[in-house]
Structure 1
Amino acid sequence: MPTIIDGMAGLRHVGLSCILAGIVVLLLAAETRQARKQTLAEVVAAAGLTAPREAAVEQGRPITSYAVLDDRSVYVLAYYWDLPSGTLEDPLRILSYDRGSGVWKAGQLALAGDPIAHGECVGSILRVQALPYAFLLDTHINPSAGCLLVVSRNLEFRAALYGWYLAAFGEGLIVFQRSEVHFASVHPAELAVYDARTGQEMALFPRKPFQAIRSAYGAELAEFYRTHEDWCMRNNHPCDPESMDSSVVGEVATSAQEHALAFVISYDAIQEFPGDLKTPPGPGKVVYLYRHVDNQATLEYRELLLSDIEARFGNLPLRSLLEPERLQQIFGK
């Protein structure tokens, strides 16, 4: 008959076995993780290419948090070295290959150093895109924030835009959505346009002076906040009627010919709060149309309910609203 001491010894044996088994699992997981790491040469080879001679010494190094653009005209790889610490460190490295000329180029962006000084942009590369005059790299900060890096075709730094890519059109116009505070009581969408020719940004949405729909909703919110200050304090809400829940619905449509763009904004509540008391409901989906986006002095915009647009023009894609005759109808000139 086993004694208590025998039982305790058995338990110790079982416990030790579990610990050893756990260590083996962790070691196997770590080994598997290492086995999954791809080297620079392997990633480039997956596109049927051989890394340039200049990178020969480093081709065997594993890379991480990278993204690839691979189309008929160009191949671009943006990456970081995979370090034992598991952290991402400057510089961000870029390789590009022009399929027409057969020329490789290599560049490095020291995001945290001078003159870029955007250390917050050191993050996983989510996407690489090519424009005739630049490459665009979206990096990850958090689910509500990122950086859009603008890099010349020679892989030289041009700009770090605090947000993410939405559209590009014309000769150097890039539309992006600005980053937001991730944990916040209100989530207002903000859109801007960056002109690669001048290096200037311009706010698109929200844009003052506000037009009828947003102004009316802002007035409703202002009255609610004025009469419910305790609700504002209880929910840690800024209760600023100019800062309201809003989100981009679908894609941004553009017209290079008219220097115009259109998008849909939903004013439906994003953040829910406890209790029966609710803020006034928003106007739903609203269409915003802009023209002369290439010139701030002449830029103008219109704001219309999506339901009114559909009643007037039918269920058309947004890009159809940017045709010259429809723009004239909408803007009245």
Structure 2
Amino acid sequence: MKLAVCLTAMLICFTVVGCGKTEPRQAVAHVDNNNESPACKKPYPSDSCKLSERFKVREINIEGLAFKDLEEGTTSSSVFENNDYVAAAYYLSKEYVENKYILRVSLYDKQKKNIINTEIDLRKPKEIRGFSVDLNIRENYLYLNLHYNPSAGTTIILNSELKYIADVYGYDAQVFKEKMIIYEKSQVHWASTHYVEIAVLDLKTKKDVIIYPMKPYQKIRQEYINLNNYFINKLGADWVRKADYVSSGELFDNGLRDGIYCNEELNAFVFLTVFERSNRYPPEIKLDNKEVVYIYRNVDNKNIEYRELLLGDVKKKYGDVPLKELLTEKTLKEVFDNK
């Protein structure tokens, strides 16, 4: 059974991922000013951190590996190692001060014992929204997720030969069955509410479709929308204007918890989202948060469908199990046959 998880993260990540093994995303080897050695803490650009120092900070042994630019100063960069790869994604400081935004990626394959490199100009052929980079590696795809702001970023997807696959304006991308990319769309940072949108990009047609939330809404979501609409109408147009709030209950605050778990063999995925009471509501507005599990199947065809369940009900029926364990033939049949 092939399973994979893409955990939610606000920072950028360069990820090699796929809907494959049943393992959580590994710790991101992000180098920031709080974790760098003294040599890397000095103010940029006069004393930027060498690429070799970034490997050293993360205790990654690169002895005998001929990585490029090891003694060059780098900025907004990241390094990573797992059982299969050692990698770096970085910008040269000397290019950055010249307003050149060229992301360099180096990948060492431990089985093939070779290093391959590529360069990506973030302004060509179109300007990419995002800059700072974190990286993680898993399976056969590389995801360069470039931080734009705390609510937005761009993910560039490469294969393990560093060939461009696609880019999406969002986070936590996963290649699904080698023909589509599932990801969480970026949001407007200063919006009055933040709400999850999960999309699928068809790699053949390049068509991008939002599959969460999906209409027609089911009972749990529709009732939460109705409650929000009731409170918005009760508070009135003047409150909406003064609070700079949305006028539609459909756009209530909600966020992913833990990420998206895929099962390619069953053509399904599952995630947990939390419906949240807006902190812009005055204290007299009483609205409980809800933890809701969403299960999708027939992901790669026109018959895609979903079910929503309260997390409490899931625990009563199946126990307090990891979400990925809900993706079995038996459970999917029970969930989708029980309309």
Q: Which structure 2 residues correspond to residues 1-333 of structure 1 after superposition, within 5 A? A: 32-33=42-43, 37-43=48-54, 46-50=60-64, 52=66, 55=68, 58-83=69-94, 89-114=100-125, 117-121=126-130, 123-132=131-140, 134-165=141-172, 167=174, 169-196=176-203, 199-227=206-234, 228-269=236-277, 271-273=278-280, 275-278=282-285, 281-282=287-288, 284-295=290-301, 297-332=302-337
Q: CA deviation at 1:85?
A: 6.7
Distance 1:249 1:44 in 2: 31
Question: What's the RMSD between the two structures over aligned residues?
Answer: 3.0
Residue segments in structure 2 that go unaligned for 5+ positions in a row: 1-37
Compared CA separation, residues 98 and 189, structure 1 to 2 (3 A): same
Number of aligned residues: 296
Alignment deviations for residues 120-173 of structure 1 (CA, whole Å, 9 cap, x no partner)? 23x1102233432x2111111111111111113332333221111165554355
More helix by proportion, 1 or 2? 1
Distance 1:31 1:241 in 2: 46
TM-score, with structure 2 as normaliser: 0.77
Is the Cα–Cα contact under 8 Å of residues 166 and 252 in structure 1 kept in the other structure? no
Distance 1:315 1:100 in 2: 39
Is the Cα–Cα contact under 8 Å of residues 217 and 282 in structure 1 kept in the other structure? no
Which residue is 1:4 aligned to? Answer: none
Compared CA separation, residues 306 and 32, structure 1 to 2 (3 A): closer
Distance 2:39 2:64 in 1: 31
Amino acid in the other structure paired with 2:331: R
Compared CA separation, residues 74 and 199, structure 1 to 2 (3 A): farther
SS in 2 for 1:83: helix
TM-score, with structure 1 as normaliser: 0.78
Distance 1:93 1:29 in 2: 22
Compared CA separation, residues 80 and 215, structure 1 to 2 (3 A): same
Distance 1:203 1:49 in 2: 46
Is the Cα–Cα contact under 8 Å of residues 65 and 80 in structure 1 kept in the other structure? yes
Is the Cα–Cα contact under 8 Å of residues 111 and 118 in structure 1 kept in the other structure? yes
Distance 1:182 1:234 in 2: 19
Q: CA deviation at 1:226?
A: 2.9
Distance 2:70 2:40 in 1: 22
Amino acid in the other structure paired with 1:193: V
Compared CA separation, residues 215 and 88, structure 1 to 2 (3 A): farther
Compared CA separation, residues 290 and 85, structure 1 to 2 (3 A): closer
Compared CA separation, residues 150 and 322, structure 1 to 2 (3 A): same
Compared CA separation, residues 249 and 131, structure 1 to 2 (3 A): same
Alignment deviations for residues 50-73 of structure 1 (CA, whole Å, 9 cap, x no partner)? 5648x4xx5432111112232222
Is the Cα–Cα contact under 8 Å of residues 196 and 255 in structure 2 kept in the other structure? yes
Is the Cα–Cα contact under 8 Å of residues 187 and 244 in structure 1 kept in the other structure? yes
Q: Which has the higher contact order (CA 8 A, sep 6+)?
A: 2
Is the Cα–Cα contact under 8 Å of residues 37 and 62 in structure 1 kept in the other structure? yes
